[in-house]
Amino acid sequence: MKNHNIVIVGAGLTGLTAAYRLKERDVVVLEQQPRIGGQIETHRADGFVFESGPNTGVVSYPEVAELFAELAPKCELEVARAAAECRLIWKGNRFRALPSGLASAVFTPLFTLPDKFRILGEPWRAKGTDPNESVGALARRRLGRSFVDYAVDPFLSGVYAGNPDTLITRYALPKLYNLEQNYGSFVRGAMAKAKEPKSERDRLATKKVFSARGGLDRLTEAMGDAIGRNRIFTGAANVRIEPLATTQPATSDAPRWKITYIYNGEEQQLTCRTVITTTGAYTLPSLLPFVPAEQMTNISNLRYAPVMQVSVGLRNAGNRLYSAFGGLVPSCEQKPVLGILFPSACFTERAPEGGALFSYFIGGIKHAELLRKSDDEIKALVTDTLHTMLKYPAGTKADTIHIFRHEHAIPQYELSSGKRFDTVETLQQQYPGLILAGNLHGGIGMADRIRQACQLKVED
């Protein structure tokens, strides 16, 4: 039985970033899948480079910029072109630009006239008193129904594939919640935050959209190389974690955890001082069998939005080369897609010269049944929307279509999140050396995953 200082379970973005940060210590990584990267997986076919998991992140924390800087030149941060600043929203029969300033907000057809005046009055509206207010309820109260329908709802479809009336603001969008609670207004809060002094490190955080040059797997592969492939065990099945009974004093370096798993058909055992889980909440009952059922239920009942991503490539896009981040579709428009991203408009070398790459997102919390459609049905749907939504001429067919189905795509930070967060904290205090990381708390975006991994407190 081998003993290590740290064992990390899961080689997704959180697990790899944590292992990279701890690589100078005796750390090993166990991953059930035959590859590293978790949800991040880049594909290259027919001249197109496309993702089957996350497409982009936002450089919202300094840790993101710092990680890429350290991994260069093996992995380079690619910030989206200026076109990505344009976001489209479907209304009626076409995509329309989301307002980016006062003038466009006044003339946009997305919002009703009463709500435009309501938005102007937002800084003087009383702040909410319900800590469990949903994002939809908060936005309707402060900004109006049309703003929820044509801004908040599609935004949350793009981020969470979720329902604005079940996502709780202080869990799902804590920065927005804090703006109202701390400053009484989104507008006043944003203005005050903009005036706060920033250090050089603070300025590394921006609102810029990012990927890795050549595809996001360049990021995970670069971290895998830096960690050392001999310390990452892919194909590790049936992982189980158990606390070791010990009479050693707390200051002892004795191992506190035993991990068993199947590797190459044989049972293996490890012991370690610290174990870090980074896998989905639904994996934890079998991973941590020692946790009492009531506590485990508080964690494992996390709901995930099922999402289908469809990568669609056109070798010849004609004169319809969209210059935008993508188009999001409000639920009230009753379309079969959540949104369509335009990766080739944002990043270099994602499609052949003169071509275009689109990433369709289908399903989500409100339309999980769409994941049961056959591949042929999905291809027919995509072909139809090329004409009806992206306005390509009748008869236009995609040169390549790749379909990816994810049953546990995006965790939903709903009302149960408070108990989950508290239970995670309680278990970590109850069992020294156990760290429960991953997107079951701390945010769902790539920047959140990187930041959480960088801030893990691991004993020396």
The number of angstroms, rounded, from the C-alpha of 335 to the middle of its chain's C-alpha atoms is 23
CA 96, CA 191: separation in Å to the nearest integer?
27
Model confidence at 320, pLDDT cuts 50, 70, 90, reads confident
**389: phi then psi, degrees, rounded to nearest 5:** -110, -45
**Residue 270's pLDDT is what?**
95
Q: How large a percentage of the chain has pLDDT more than 90?
A: 89
Q: State how far the Cα of 172 lies from the Cα of 301, in Å rounded to an integer.
A: 16
Number of Cβ within 10 Å of residue 94's Cβ equals 12
User: For residue 62, what pLDDT band results from cuts at 50, 70 and 90?
Assistant: very high
d(CA 151, CA 329): 10
What does the pLDDT look like over 391-422, one tens digit per residue? 999 889 999 999 999 999 999 999 999 999 99
Q: Mind listing the pLDDT tens digit for each residue in 23-54?
A: 999 999 999 999 999 999 999 999 999 999 99
157-196 pLDDT, tens per residue? 999 999 999 999 999 999 999 999 999 999 899 999 989 9
Tell me what the pLDDT averaged over the chain comes to: 95
The DSSP line for 393-446 is PTT---SEEEEEEEEEEEE---TTHHHHHHHHHHHHHHSTTEEE-STTSS-SSH
CA 116 – CA 106 distance, rounded (Å): 7
The pLDDT of residue 452 is above 90? yes
pLDDT classification of 253: cutoffs 50, 70, 90: confident
* The two three-digit tokens of residue 362, written as one number: 């289908």
Phi, psi of 83 (to 5 degrees): -55, -30
pLDDT of residue 105: 80
- % of the chain surpassing 70 pLDDT: 98
What confidence score (pLDDT) does residue 103 get?
Answer: 74
Residue 248's pLDDT band (boundaries 50, 70, 90)?
low
Q: How confident is the model at residue 246 (pLDDT cuts 50, 70, 90)?
A: low
Lowest mean pLDDT among 100-104, 289-293, 374-378: 100-104
Longest dimension (CA), the chain: 75
